[in-house]
Amino acid sequence: MEELIKSLTETFGPSGEEETVRTMIADLVRDRTDRLFEDSLGNLYAVKEGDRPRIMISAHMDEIGVMVTSIDENGFLRLAPLGRVNPVMLLGQRIRFKNGLTGSVYHEKLKDLKELDWDKLYADVGQKDAASAEGAVKIGDQACLAQPFNSLPGSRCLAKAMDDRAGCAVLIETLRRLPARLPQEACFVFSIQEELGLRGAKTAAYRYEPDFGIAVDVTLVGDTPKASTMAVSLGKGPTIKVKDSSILCHPRVRQLMVETAKKNDIPYQMEVLERGGTDAGAIHLSREGVPSGAISIPCRYVHSPSEMIDLKDAANAVEVLVKLLTKEWSFSEESNVF
Amino acid sequence: MNEDKIINALLELSEMAAVSGGEEAAVAAAARYLKTYVSDIKRDCFGNLLAFKPGENATGRPALTIALVAHADEIGAMVTKIEPGGFLRFTPIGGLDPRTLPGQPVTVHGKKKFPGVIGAAPPHLLTKKERGETTPMEKLFIDIGMDQEQAADKVKVGDIISLEQHPVALKNGKMMTGKSLDNRAGIAVLIACAAGLSRLYHSVDVVFIASLQEEVGLRGAITAAYGLNPDLAVAIDVTHGDAPELEEGRFFKLGKGPVVAKGPNLHPALVDRLEKTAGKYFLPVQREPIPDHSGTDAWAFQVAREGIPTALLSIPLRYMHTAVEMINLDDLFNCVKVLGYFIGGLNRTFLEDMKKC
Amino acid sequence: MLSELADIQGVSGDEAKVRRFISEKLAGRGIETSVDTMGNFIARKNRGKLATPPMLSAHMDEVGLMITSIRQGGLLNFQTVGGIDSRVLVAKRVKIGREGLRGVIGAKPIHLQKKEEQEKPYKQESLYIDAGFNSREEAEKYISTGDYAVFDVSCIKMGNGFYRGKAFDDRAGCLVLLELLLENSDLCFNAAFTVQEEVGTRGAMVTAYTLQPQKALVVEATASADTPETEKEMSSTILGKGPAISLMDKTILVDRKMRDELADCAVRAGIPFQFRRFTGAGTEGGAIAYSREGVKTAVIAVPCRYIHSPHCVLKESDLQATVSLARAWLENNQ
């Protein structure tokens, strides 16, 4: 799984420019699905066909990034954030455009770093004037962070875009492990624009009309120095979400996840995330409502160039998902009731 | 259903814990009261309760459907961590004011219901500066009188915490105080309204909805509105009651009647009809101008599918989102009457007339 | 027609007069029209020619004020409807209610203020509307709480091809849609004149659900700061350089292919255009793009200075170029 996470995280895919990631994932899962298609906004659906209930499992392809909003006469680029990006996190970092062009991000002269905001920040792609800059990059072009994947001694690793390529990797690995036939239908959605407000999952859920929803994403942790009081640690297993800003997970789905993990001796943690949302937030409010839950991979330094996960947590998330999807979900078409 | 019975129902509803995401008790109680007066009750897949009361419709044409929606949930909190010493950290569910919390008794819904209290540092040990500051939510904790080992066995991260308060009627007999009158008062209106309508001719079909998860973003209403897609909807909720130091005119007097909201969120023809109905039957109402988001289920209903004309009727309530909310029961009774006569007077032509508005 | 449209009172939730104006302009032109429960006005030009016609959207509502209570002495308290910077409110004249009663926004005169007070902007809560009433009872004869008020402004031409007036956001967009509906063409499209954009793009949520388009174009007015005291990089758009094509705003990230398509349309037809060099603020784009299964949506806008103030300024040539660009886009989608 390490190789898979390495290649996924090193791929270019800020919100709205998920094409490269989508093509890569489509190639990886094509022979494991009965139906593979994308919609007009760019969500990718990999369906393992079966009877109802229909379960939608969603991980988002997009990562945070920046967009070029103007180019000045000296060839410097002004930037706007794609998703929740702290400008401080970008200082001195390299960014990379789709065509491979890289640039450095720095700030105008400031009296105090506290003044730093997007209007004080610029990118330098090494061009001497507007004309040569415009030859290399256009207004509206997007860039992501440029850091490579690093494996650390033990089972932990660092990369940009762990949020949520780690989740994508979990979905892909799950698809590889699942038997040809499941007791019910499962649709793996690789969604777009989650970082801009769960937008892809919203339209995908409307289109697919699932009976249940599961999001696989990363979550924050409370095990770093002076961290907030959150009872989630790296390496202690994937988390089963109870609440975040976007959803109160459905008790039945949550219970099913807990039972599955317990029964199969898979380590897990319970997650209450105080800030942040995930695709399940959009799925559970689709149409008449979709009972939904989420499994997360604990991740340090989320939305930075160096997000850290423990590969064991990702592997255990796959275990939970495989066991969850190969068991039969109770369901009645007349009343998929509480 | 006489007034005493309504008051008893409200006392029962206010006492029970039904924090967003764990509303079963309040929904079950609402269903128990409503079932006497309706033809069918169901839960949708989000968990919202829908109770159907068909009208007398001899026209042969499909009847108009009006939804009356009140949220069943209340604010509360959730366990985020069990600290050494057995103290619990928590995160709010819905809008809790940390300043109102120190010293607040709570119930922790773990393996069983455990009583607890939100700890407050003794003033003796605080510096002058600390006494002048609000303790932020993340520094607060709950004491359930257990050590870490016991607490970890009985309570899990993700368990729900509710405010603990026994509701009481005040001396003058008109006022009631307790927790979660936002919006059990609304649920009581639904119940009383269903009872009232069983003795009043009405040609439209009425659906009573106890919605879930309003306090965390109108979530139940979003799905209920889509699923039912009624012709009209009225949300029943609470609004801010008057109190000293609040700006004149922006808050509503307790005892001066329910409050009809007016603004972009509300359909002008419905607002007009509600106010005229009150006038016709000499029932007091107040008017609340709302320039944008009403912060209620009405906001979700209005834009469901192809749009649903929506109104909002509120009961003035003091000290919102605390354990000492207060209402005047006359406002509740008048709210029921206004709704009853309003529904009694509706028919299909109303829908056609309002399109011209 | 811009003057006529801009002068109409139509704060969010009270768009009836704008709707009536548009409806009257379209009457007898063989265009199918309808109004939904929220008050959105939909016009279907050459209906039936295409199975899923492209959608154009512009909002009828404008920012304004709402009377929230009446003081004992007859002065009126108000709140803003939509985003208005309270610094532009003081000492402006307004029209109140459906009758359009005149009033002024008053505040404590500068002479009577302490030095510290003088240096701070007026807070909205300290302002009030004075319509000359001597008591609450007198005021209540003419005014009820919940009444709307708008700036008392008439749109005029000024300088070299500029217009000055209120509510160009988004009567300019309404004008673009009206022009395209009224001209003699066999273009097939659905035009949505929507309500309540300024309080959360509410009308467009409903029209997008109803019309179920595959592609949509929102026609807006957007802020321009091509003025002193703003650095060029921060101007967002420049008057006279044609319609601004959005890259992104708070509600939508515009599909790159849609953006490129619009730019191509403009280049081919020789229409000037610019990109909106700002990614904040919101439009109906998001409400439409993420409706149902998703709709390919773009946003173009007429650059407009002093937006959401009593007097906005726009350039006529930009307005015409916006009509041309919207037309070229429609032709490309027939």
As for the ipTM of the complex, it is 0.91
Q: Please indicate whether residue A194 is annotated as part of the active site.
A: yes
**What pLDDT digit, counting tens, does each position of A160-218 carry?**
999 999 999 999 999 999 999 999 999 999 999 999 999 999 999 999 999 999 999 99
Residue among C119, C150, C141 at smallest CA distance from C311: C150
A270 inside 8 A of chain B by CB: yes
What integer pLDDT is reported at residue C114 of this predicted model? Answer: 81
**What pLDDT digit, counting tens, does each position of A115-131 carry?**
999 999 999 999 999 99
What integer pLDDT is reported at residue C262 of this predicted model? Answer: 97
pLDDT higher than 60, residue A152: yes
Q: Is the dihedral of CA A19, A20, A25, A26 positive or negative?
A: positive
Q: A248 to chain B: which residues are within 8 Å by CB?
A: 20-21, 93, 213, 216, 219
* CB-CB neighbours of B38 under 10 Å: 19
Please give the biggest Cα pair distance in chain C: 68
**Contact between A201 and A282 (Cβ < 8 Å):** yes
Shortest alpha-carbon distance between residue B269 and chain A (Å)? 28
Confidence at B173, pLDDT banded by 50, 70, 90: confident
* DSSP-assigned letter for residue A216: E
**Contact between B50 and B211 (Cβ < 8 Å):** no
**Contact between C225 and C233 (Cβ < 8 Å):** no
CA atoms within 13 A on the CB side of A127: 22
What integer pLDDT is reported at residue A334 of this predicted model? Answer: 67
Q: What is the mean pLDDT of residues B298-314?
A: 97
**Contact between C293 and A40 (Cβ < 8 Å):** yes
**What pLDDT digit, counting tens, does each position of A311-326 carry?**
999 999 999 999 999 9
What integer pLDDT is reported at residue B331 of this predicted model? Answer: 97
Best B303, B308, B310 residue to mutate vs chain C (most C CBs within 10 Å): B303
Amino acid at C10: G
Mean pLDDT of chain B: 93
Q: B267 to chain C: which residues are within 8 Å by CB?
A: 37
Decide: residue C50, CB within 10 A, 0-12 exposed, 13-18 middle, 19+ buried: middle
Beta strands in C84-242 (DSSP E): 93-96, 101-106, 128-130, 148-151, 156-158, 162-165, 189-194, 215-224
**Contact between A299 and A271 (Cβ < 8 Å):** no
pLDDT higher than 60, residue A338: no
pLDDT higher than 90, residue C18: yes
**Contact between B245 and B105 (Cβ < 8 Å):** no
**Contact between B201 and B344 (Cβ < 8 Å):** yes
- In DSSP notation, B246-286 reads SPTTTSB-TTS--EEEESTTS-HHHHHHHHHHHHHTT---E
What integer pLDDT is reported at residue A300 of this predicted model? Answer: 97
Confidence at B249, pLDDT banded by 50, 70, 90: low
Kindly determine whether residue C125 and residue B249, on different chains, have CB atoms separated by under 8 Å: no
Residue of B nearest to A281 (CA): B219
- Taking the C-alpha atoms of residue A283 and residue A289, their distance in angstroms, rounded to an integer, is 8
What integer pLDDT is reported at residue A337 of this predicted model? Answer: 57
CA angle B339, B344, B349 (to 5 degrees): 115
Q: A337 to chain B: which residues are within 8 Å by CB?
A: 42-45, 47
C283 inside 8 A of chain B by CB: no
From chain B residues 277-336, the ones with a CB under 8 A of any chain C CB are: 287, 289, 291-293, 302-303, 305-309
B249 inside 8 A of chain C by CB: yes
**What pLDDT digit, counting tens, does each position of A57-70 carry?**
999 999 999 999 99
**Contact between C278 and A118 (Cβ < 8 Å):** no
What integer pLDDT is reported at residue B347 of this predicted model? Answer: 87
Touching B (3+ Cβ pairs <8 A), the chains are A, C
pLDDT higher than 90, residue B294: yes
C211 inside 8 A of chain B by CB: no
Q: Which of A185, A194, A271, A319 is catalytic?
A: A194
**N residues, chain C:** 334
Residue among A132, A17, A84, A207 at smallest CA distance from C259: A17
pLDDT higher than 80, residue B58: no
Catalytic residues of B, which ones? Answer: 214
Q: Are strands C274-275 and C32-35 parallel, antiparallel or unpaired?
A: unpaired
Confidence at B349, pLDDT banded by 50, 70, 90: confident
pLDDT higher than 60, residue A336: no
**Terminal CA-CA length for chain A:** 36
Kindly determine whether residue C199 and residue B302, on different chains, have CB atoms separated by under 8 Å: no
Residue of C nearest to A192 (CA): C253
Q: What is the mean pLDDT of residues B205-234?
A: 97
Per the structure block, which two tokens stand in for C8? 């109409």
Report percent pLDDT > 70 for chain B.
98
Per the structure block, which two tokens stand in for A73? 């006469």
Kindly determine whether residue B289 and residue C202, on different chains, have CB atoms separated by under 8 Å: no
* DSSP-assigned letter for residue A235: T
Shortest alpha-carbon distance between residue B71 and chain A (Å)? 16
Residue among B313, B347, B1, B42 at smallest CA distance from B183: B313
From chain A residues 197-236, the ones with a CB under 8 A of any chain B CB are: 222, 228-231
Task: Closest CB to B80: pick one of A231, A288, A338.
Answer: A231
- Taking the C-alpha atoms of residue C141 and residue B259, their distance in angstroms, rounded to an integer, is 21
**What pLDDT digit, counting tens, does each position of C122-154 carry?**
887 789 999 999 999 999 999 999 999 999 999
Q: What is the mean pLDDT of residues A266-278?
A: 96
- Taking the C-alpha atoms of residue A204 and residue A39, their distance in angstroms, rounded to an integer, is 8
Residue among B82, B342, B284, B300 at smallest CA distance from B211: B300
- Taking the C-alpha atoms of residue B146 and residue B71, their distance in angstroms, rounded to an integer, is 34
Q: What is the mean pLDDT of residues B61-76?
A: 94
**Contact between A123 and A136 (Cβ < 8 Å):** no
**What pLDDT digit, counting tens, does each position of C65-112 carry?**
999 999 989 999 999 999 998 888 988 999 999 889 999 998 877 787
**N residues, chain B:** 357
**Terminal CA-CA length for chain B:** 36
- Taking the C-alpha atoms of residue C251 and residue C245, their distance in angstroms, rounded to an integer, is 15
Q: What share of chain A is helix, strand, coil (3-state, %, to 5)?
A: 30, 30, 40
3-state class (DSSP) for residue A111: coil
Residue among C273, C313, C307 at smallest CA distance from C161: C313
Q: C71 to chain B: which residues are within 8 Å by CB?
A: 248-249
Q: Edge-to-edge, what's the strand order for the sheet holding B49-53? A: B40-43, B49-53, B205-211, B65-71, B232-240, B310-317, B259-262, B286-289
**What pLDDT digit, counting tens, does each position of C198-217 carry?**
999 999 999 999 999 999 99
Per the structure block, which two tokens stand in for B109? 């819904």
